[in-house]
């Protein structure tokens, strides 16, 4: 099937069904995927991408709900991508239970999609970047990407988002955990959620102390630690203000363009890498490897000689 101009028009005018179908095309790696993304690329670049990450259960989805409600009140349209949700955060459940669907503005202006990337080759960024492009071309002002902070995906999020918000909770050791997991390096803003619980102020202080030790990042901006109670929508306006402030800072310093170009380069390199890998490890080479692994293991030959013997132009 070839992509019609009418279909592209429907996507760029924000038609929900067309957008939904386009996302499925990307997710299922349908053959018209490349043509679709080629046609949509020139419409992208207007949406601002907010990444929300943090440990399981920190309240990322609840914060996302609040952001949706508060931002739509300000007449912004929102796209939401929930990556590998561990608690139910399907479009249906979220819209049915948490955001009142009777509200026409929400229905018109919010598009929510859950995505599973766990275990897929290339992890988070490939598909999420493509889905972001569709939502961007569809005219969303903000795209919120929620990823659960276990493993690599939360670090990848900083390679996609313009502003990365790391959500933590007052449970002991969280700031140390954050440091270990590399969350310190990727946060543009910290939201200490569940700050209705004990120990919130202590964690804020310890986070601030640790942040002083952090090496300066490219955009050279002070990282704020904000207290939120997402279940009560407390602190969310302040969080939005801080996101807007970061956005303004990135734009006025020219760092937004630098950051986005860097993300784009990485995205292109990753697409090429994945394709090279897929092309090289085709059925034939994969079979040769499994047939020869015994010989290599028993030292009849060695990995390098084996690689040289493969039909390849790899320079070792």
Ligand X SMILES: Nc1nc2c(ncn2[C@@H]2O[C@H](COP(=O)(O)OP(=O)(O)OP(=O)(O)O)[C@@H](O)[C@H]2O)c(=O)[nH]1
What's the token pair of residue 255? 């760092």
What's the token pair of residue 149? 């902070």
Site for ligand X in 231-290 (CB under 6 A): 231
HSE-up of 125 (CA within 13 Å, CB side)? 21
Total site size for ligand X, rule CB under 6 A: 18
Our finding on whether 229 is near ligand X (CB under 6 A) is yes
Q: Out of ligand X, Mg ion, none, which partner does residue 24 contact, by CB within 5 to 8 A per kind?
A: none
Q: Of 84 and 130, which CB lies nearer to ligand X in the complex structure?
A: 84
Site for Mg ion in 133-192 (CB under 5 A): none
CB of 136 to ligand X, least distance (A): 23
The closest residue (CB) to Mg ion is: 61
Site for ligand X in 180-209 (CB under 6 A): 193-194, 196-197
Q: Which strands, in side-by-side order, build the sheet including 142-148?
A: 110-115, 78-83, 142-148, 48-54, 163-168, 189-192, 224-227
Our finding on whether 148 is near ligand X (CB under 6 A) is yes
Q: Of 22 and 71, which CB lies nearer to Mg ion in the complex structure?
A: 71
Helix, strand, or coil here: 168? Answer: strand
Report how far residue 148's alpha carbon sits from residue 70's, in angstroms, rounded to the nearest whole number.
22
Q: Out of Mg ion, ligand X, none, which partner does residue 138 contact, by CB within 5 to 8 A per kind?
A: none
Q: Of 22 and 63, which CB lies nearer to ligand X in the complex structure?
A: 63
Nearest to 36 by CA among 25, 46, 28, 45: 25
Helix, strand, or coil here: 30? Answer: coil
Our finding on whether 12 is near Mg ion (CB under 5 A) is no
Q: How far apart are the first and last CA of the chain?
A: 42
* Region from 14-22, 80-88, 95-103, 299-307 binding ligand X, contact rule CB under 6 A: 80-88
Q: Of 65 and 162, which CB lies nearer to ligand X in the complex structure?
A: 65
CB of 63 to Mg ion, least distance (A): 9
Q: Of 37 and 204, which CB lies nearer to ligand X in the complex structure?
A: 204
CB within 8 A of 165, min separation 6: which ones? Answer: 50, 51, 52, 53, 63, 187, 188, 189, 190, 191, 239, 243
The Cα-based distances of 23 to 27, 32, 96, 130, 176 in angstroms read 6, 12, 21, 8, 37
Our finding on whether 77 is near Mg ion (CB under 5 A) is no
Q: Of 37 and 50, which CB lies nearer to ligand X in the complex structure?
A: 50
What's the token pair of residue 55? 């440990």
Name the site residues for ligand X (rule: CB under 6 A): 56-62, 85-87, 148, 193-194, 196-197, 229-231
């Amino acid at each position: 099937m070839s992509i019609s101009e009418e279909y592209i028009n429907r996507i760029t005018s924000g038609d929900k069904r067309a957008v939904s179908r386009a996302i499925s095309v990307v997710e299922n790696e349908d053959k018209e995927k490349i043509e679709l993304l080629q046609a949509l690329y020139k419409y992208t670049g207007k949406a601002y991408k907010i990444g929300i990450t943090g440990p399981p259960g920190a309240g990322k989805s609840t914060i996302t709900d609040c952001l949706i409600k508060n931002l739509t009140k300000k007449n912004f349209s929102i796209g939401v991508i929930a990556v590998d949700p561990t608690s139910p955060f399907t479009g249906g459940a979220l819209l049915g239970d948490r955001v009142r669907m009777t509200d026409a503005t929400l229905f018109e202006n919010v598009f929510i999609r859950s995505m599973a990337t766990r275990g897929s080759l290339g992890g988070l960024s490939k598909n999420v970047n493509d889905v972001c492009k569709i939502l961007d071309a569809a005219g969303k002002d903000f795209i919120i990407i929620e990823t659960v902070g276990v493993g690599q995906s939360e670090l990848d999020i900083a390679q996609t988002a313009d502003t990365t918000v790391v959500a933590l909770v007052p449970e002991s050791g969280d700031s140390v955990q954050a440091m270990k997991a590399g969350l310190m390096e990727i946060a543009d803003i910290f939201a200490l959620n569940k700050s209705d619980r004990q120990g919130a102020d202590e964690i804020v202080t310890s986070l601030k102390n640790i942040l002083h030790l952090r090496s300066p990042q490219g955009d050279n901006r002070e990282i704020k630690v904000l207290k939120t109670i997402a279940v009560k929508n407390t602190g969310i306006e302040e969080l939005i203000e801080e996101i807007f402030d970061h956005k303004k800072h990135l734009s006025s310093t020219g760092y937004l363009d630098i950051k986005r170009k860097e993300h784009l380069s990485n995205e292109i390199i990753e697409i090429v890498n994945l394709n090279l890998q897929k092309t090289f490890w085709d059925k034939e080479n994969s079979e040769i490897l499994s047939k020869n692994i015994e010989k290599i293991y028993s030292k009849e030959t060695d990995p390098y000689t084996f690689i040289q013997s493969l039909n390849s132009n790899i320079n070792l």
